[in-house]
Structure 1
Amino acid sequence: MKPLVFFGAEICRRRKAANLTQECLAEITQFSRSLLGFIERGERTPSRNFAQRCDDALKAGGELVRLWEHATRDASPRWFRGWLDVEQEARALHTWQPLVVPGLLQTEEYARAVIRGEPGISERQVERAVAARMERQEIFTRADPPLFRAVLDEGVLHRPIGGREVMRRQLERLAEAVESPRIGIQIVPLELGMTTGILGGFVIAQLPGSPDTVYIDSATNGHVTNRLEDVEVIQSRYDALRAEAQPRHASIALIREAEKLWT
C-alpha cells in the first residue's frame, strides 16, 4: 500500500473507532470535509499541521505525525517543511515574486509546469509536489483565512509557463482571487525598470504572538528565518516594491489585458 493511501486509511480507521463522522472531525480540526475525504482516500498530500490536529483530535499519541513524516518525505524538500508550519499559522502573508505566480495562487496546471522544471525530478515526485501545493491553498477555505498580499513583477504575466492555455487559466485565477477581500495583488510595471527585489522572491509571515518570519528564495534551498535583522531588510524591500506597484484597480486591469493576450 502506498504511504499516502496508508496514512489516509489510518486516519479513517481511527476516526471510525472514535465514532466520529467526517463532518465532526473536519469541524474539530478546522479543515474542510472535502479535504479530509481526499486525504482519507490517499488522493491529497496533507500538511504537518493537518496530521498534528488529527493526531490530537484522535488521541493518536504522535503516531499520525510519524506516519505523515514517512508518507510525505519526498513531497516537499526537508528544508521547506518548517515554512509549511509557519504558513499554516500565519495571520498575514506578504510576498514579492519577480518570476512566477506565488504557489498559493497557482492553478494545478501552472504548478505542474513550474515543478517539472526541476532537473532530474520524476513524474511521481512531480505529482506529489503538485498535490502538496494544492493542499496548501486550503488555508483560504478556513473559517479564519490569512490576509494575503502579493506584489508581482509584470513579467510574471507574460512568461509562457506551460503554454497559452495554462497561462490563460492562471491569469483568470489571479483575476478571480482578488475578488476575495482577504487577497490583494499589485503589479510592478515593466516600464519602471526598477531592480529592487529582482534577485529573488520572498514571503513575510506575520504570526500571532510570535516574531515575523521570512522565507527567501534561492537557487538551491530557500532560507527561513525570524532573525530581526533579516526580517527588517526584507520588510524594507517589500515596502519599496509595494510603493512602486500599481494600485489594485490598475493591477487588475493589467492582469485582464495579459489574459486576453493568452486567449
Structure 2
Amino acid sequence: MEREQQTDLIRAQLRRQRTLAGMNQEEFGRRANYSASTVSAVETGTRPVDLPFARRADEILETGGLFESLLRSAQRDAQPEWFMPWAKAERAARHLRYVNPTLVPGLFQTENYARAVMRLHDTRPEAEVEEMVAARLARQEILTRERPPQVVAVIDESVLRRADAIMAEQLAHLLRMTELPHVHIHIVPATAGLHIGLCGPLALAMLSDGTWVGHLDTQLYGQAPETEEKVAKLLGIWECGRGVALPEDLSIALIKEVESQHGPR
C-alpha cells in the first residue's frame, strides 16, 4: 500500500471510530488534551498523525492499539524504497556496526537533530520532512525492545563539535544511549588525524544465521554490497575505524566534555 493510501486510511479510521464513539472533534480533543482545531488538522491531513496522538486515540476510542499499529506500518513505509532492504536487516539484526564521520547515526538521533538533518535539503516539503523524521524515530525502537541487538558505533569527534543549538540535547541523548548495556559508542579523537572512517559512513548488520549485510550511504541513495567479498571488506574497514577510536570509557568522558561546552539545554 502506498504511503499516501496508508495515511488516508489512518485519518478515515480516526474519523470513523470517533463518530462511532459518539464524539465530535471538540469532545475528543478535550479527552485527548488536544484542541478541536488540532484534531481537525489531523483528520484532514494538514497535520501529520504522530505517535502520541495515535496512542491517545487508541486509549480514548478503545481500539486495542489499532492506530499505533497502522502508524508504525506507515512510518516503516515512509523510508525511501532503496533504504527498505537495510531497514529490514536493521530490524532483524543481532549485531549492528556503524562508522559515521559526519553525522550522529540515525539510531541515536534526537527528533530535533533528525529534523535538522532532513531540512538540509532545502526544497523538501515540510510534510515530507515530518514523515521522514517519524520514520527515523520509529527505527530506534529496536534499541528498547525485549531482545535488542548489540550496537557498536564509531563516531568522529568532529560530529560532536557542531556549533549548533540542538547539539547539547543531542549529546545528552548520546550519553543516555551509552547507559544501555547493549549500546557501545566509540569516538575517534581529533588527534587521530586522517583515518579510514573519513572515507564515508558505513553500516553492518549480522542476522540470526550469522550472515553479515552491509549498507553504504551516498548523497542520493544507499546501496548494499552484493558479494560476500565486499561485505568482508566493509568488516575490515569497520575494524580499522574501531581501532583508531577511543575506548568506551574515554569516549564517554569526551562526549561529556564536549556537552559541557555547549551550555545549558
Q: Do both proteins adopt the same fold according to a TM-score greater than 0.5, normalized to the shorter chain? A: yes
**Unmatched runs of 5 consecutive residues or more in structure 1:** 14-32, 52-67
What are the residue-to-residue correspondences of 1:114-125 with 2, within 5 Å? 114-125=117-128
Cross-structure match for 1:202: 202
With the length of structure 2 as denominator, give the TM-score of the two structures: 0.74
- Alignment-derived partner of residue 240 in structure 1: 240
TM-score normalised by length of structure 1: 0.75
CA contact (8 A) 2:100 2:200 kept: yes
Which one of the candidate residues 87, 92, 95 is aligned to 1:89?
92
User: Which residue is 2:185 aligned to?
Assistant: 185
> Can you list the C-alpha shifts for 1:216-252, whole angstroms capped at 9, x where unaligned?
1112211123521111111111111111110011000
Contact kept in structure 2, 1:212 and 1:226, CA below 8 Å? no
Structure 2: runs of 5+ lacking an equivalent:
17-50, 57-64
Matched residue SS, 1:96 = strand
In 2, the alpha carbon distance for the partners of 1:261 and 1:3 equals 44
Superposed displacement of residue 197, structure 1: 2.1
Quick one: which amino acid aligns to residue 170 of structure 1? Q
Q: Distance in 2 between matches of 1:36 and 1:97?
A: 33
Asked if 2 retains the 8 angstrom alpha-carbon contact of 1:96 and 1:201, the reply is yes
Alignment of 1:140-219 (within 5 A): 140-160=143-163, 163-164=164-165, 166-209=166-209, 211-219=211-219
| Distance apart, 1:3 and its partner CA | 3.3
1:37 CA displacement: 3.1
- Relative to structure 1, is the Cα distance of residues 168 and 224 closer, same or farther in structure 2, using a 3 angstrom cutoff? same
Q: Deviations over 1:189-218 (max 9, x none)?
A: 111112312121011100011520001111
The secondary structure found in structure 1 opposite 2:224 is strand
Confirm or deny: 8 A CA contact 2:76 2:138 kept in the other structure.
no
Work out the number of aligned pairs and report it: 219
Pick closer, same or farther for the CA change 1:35–1:242 going to 2, 3 Å: farther
Cα deviations across residues 29-85 of structure 1 (Å, max 9, x unaligned)?
A: xxxx98983784479852xxxx4xxxxxxxxxxxxxxxx5xx876x22110111111
